[in-house]
């Protein structure tokens, strides 16, 4: 068994997690969450997004959050930018890494960003161009890689095609999102075998949702396929506003517990991470979505 010695986590809770919350979350609570995550040793934190506030009202305060966070040395604080307008807002907020997001399904692309896959890639061109000119790193997402809430099954070749185009355009890493959490260890391995013919494994990341309870199994399958970067969300926060059934993301605490149990280094302090998850769950007045968080802190509201 040839597992990576080190795995990099990309913490998406403050963005992918909180974007889904209907009620207003105070900027101070978002800032506290990001700072707690930095203290817990996360090296990459997705803080917010510069999208239309009409589409995702919860992310409207992202510039204020960026202005108030304590930037720990060596930590990357990134934001989602769907177009040049969002990119420019991100630059004004002092963001130094952004992510563009495409989908492997046409229907999801329309619902999420109001355009076809091809049109979305065209929109990303000027973002990548401007980012290159300013020395800003760009990550690429592909959503619905193992199934779509509107189209059902997704052909792995289609995922490989979109991921490959993002890679060719200059995204340094492509995160493959099982947005509705329908993947299994078998379908995950098959997908990665196909996509890895187009994008090197070292440039791929896994982004799993736990809707069917398969996220950790899918991480393990990905580790066996040589993937060493995973997105996760503290306390299992989140989902996607344009994907019904996309319940929580894989909880960061559960991911770290798995990885440390395998002897894989992450640089993350699990008790501090679990405390951060417990704190934001209390703020949101919801049950902690991490099983490890529940085990360490009890599962009361
Ligand atoms: P649109 O309506 O087609 O945009 O939305 P438009 O270009 O026609 O502009 C319409 C209005 O939006 C204009 O304002 C623009 O200024 C404004 P008006 O003149 O009418 O007052 N606008 C913006 N405002 C702020 N920031 C911007 C921006 N762009 C235009 N960047 C658009 C197209 C892409 C903007 C919209 O569909 C959108 O914002 N979508 C974002 C949806 C989103 O954030 N989804 C969640 C993230 S994806 C995800 O969660 C999945 C992932 O986690 C992986 C996984 O789990 O699988 C990544
Ligand atoms: Mg997600």
Distance CA 222, CA 188 (A): 7
pLDDT tens per residue across span 50-64: 999 999 999 999 999
Report how far ligand 1's centroid is from the alpha carbon of 82 (Å): 6
Selecting among 144, 148, 171, 240, the annotated active-site residue is 240
Query: Which ligand 1 atom sits closest to the C-alpha of 179?
Result: 57
Sign of the dihedral defined by the CA atoms of residues 246, 3, 229, 142, in that order: negative
* Chain mean position to CA 266: 17
H/E stretch holding 294: helix 291-297
pTM over 0.75: yes
86 pocket-lining for ligand 1 (C-beta < 6 Å): yes
pLDDT of amino acid 244: 65
Residue 171 a catalytic site member = no
H/E stretch holding 47: strand 44-49
Query: Which ligand 1 atom sits closest to the C-alpha of 175?
Result: 54
Report how far ligand 2's centroid is from the alpha carbon of 139 (Å): 14
Q: Which residues of the chain have pLDDT under 70?
A: 1, 239-246, 299-301
Count CB neighbours of 165 within 10 A. 20
pLDDT of amino acid 286: 87
- Which residue's CA lies nearest to atom 9 of ligand 1? 52
Distance CA 58, CA 71 (A): 22
17 pocket-lining for ligand 1 (C-beta < 6 Å): no
**32 Cβ partners below 8 Å, 6+ apart?**
279
Distance CA 30, CA 14 (A): 7
- How do 229-232 and 44-49 pair as beta strands? unpaired
Ligand nearest to the CA of 53: 1
pLDDT of amino acid 20: 87
pLDDT of amino acid 94: 97
Q: Is 55 exposed, middle or buried (0-12, 13-18, 19+ CB in 10 A)?
A: middle
111 pocket-lining for ligand 1 (C-beta < 6 Å): no
pLDDT tens per residue across span 256-293: 999 999 999 999 999 999 999 999 999 999 889 999 99
Ligand nearest to the CA of 248: 2
* Chain mean position to CA 110: 20
230: tokens are: 């995973």
Fold assignment, 8-297: TIM Barrel (3.20.20)
pLDDT of amino acid 243: 61
Ligand nearest to the CA of 143: 1
- Say how many CA atoms lie within 13 Å of 131 toward its Cβ: 32
pLDDT of amino acid 300: 59
Longest dimension (CA), the chain: 50
51 by DSSP, 3-state: which?
coil
- What are the structural domain ranges in the chain? 8-297
DSSP symbols for 83-126: SHHHHHHHHHTT--EEEEEEESSHHHHHHHHSS-HHHHHHHHHH
163: tokens are: 């991921």
CA 50 → CA 185, 189, 294, distances in Å? 33, 33, 32
85 pocket-lining for ligand 1 (C-beta < 6 Å): yes
- Which of 61, 56, 7, 6 has its CA nearest to residue 34? 61
142 by DSSP, 3-state: which?
strand
127 pocket-lining for ligand 1 (C-beta < 6 Å): no
């Amino acid at each position: 068994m040839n597992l990576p010695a080190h795995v990099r986590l990309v913490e998406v809770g403050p963005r992918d997690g909180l974007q889904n919350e209907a009620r207003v979350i105070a900027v101070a609570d978002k800032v506290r969450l990001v700072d707690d995550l930095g203290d817990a040793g996360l090296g990459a934190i997705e803080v917010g997004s510069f999208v239309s506030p009409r589409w995702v009202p919860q992310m409207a305060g992202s510039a204020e959050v960026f202005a108030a966070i304590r930037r720990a040395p060596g930590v990357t604080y990134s934001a989602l930018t769907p177009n040049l307008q969002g990119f420019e807002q991100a630059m004004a907020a002092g963001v130094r890494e952004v992510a563009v997001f495409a989908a492997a399904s046409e229907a999801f692309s329309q619902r999420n960003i109001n355009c076809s896959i091809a049109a979305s890639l065209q929109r990303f061109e000027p973002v990548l161009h401007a980012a290159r000119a300013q020395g800003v790193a760009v990550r690429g997402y592909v959503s619905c890689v193992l199934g779509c809430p509107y189209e059902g099954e997704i052909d792995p070749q289609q995922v490989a095609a979109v991921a490959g185009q993002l890679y060719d355009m200059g995204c340094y890493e492509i995160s493959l999102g099982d947005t509705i959490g329908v993947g299994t260890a078998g379908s995950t391995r098959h997908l990665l075998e196909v996509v890895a013919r187009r994008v090197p494994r070292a440039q791929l990341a896994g982004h799993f949702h736990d809707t069917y309870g398969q996220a950790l199994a899918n991480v393990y399958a990905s580790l066996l396929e040589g993937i060493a970067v995973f997105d996760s969300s503290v306390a299992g926060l989140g989902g996607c506003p344009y994907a019904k059934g996309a319940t929580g993301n894989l909880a960061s605490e559960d991911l770290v517990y798995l990885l440390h149990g395998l002897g894989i280094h992450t640089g993350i302090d699990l008790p501090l991470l679990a405390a951060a998850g417990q704190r934001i769950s209390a703020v949101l007045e919801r049950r902690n979505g991490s099983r490890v968080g529940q085990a360490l802190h009890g599962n009361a509201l």
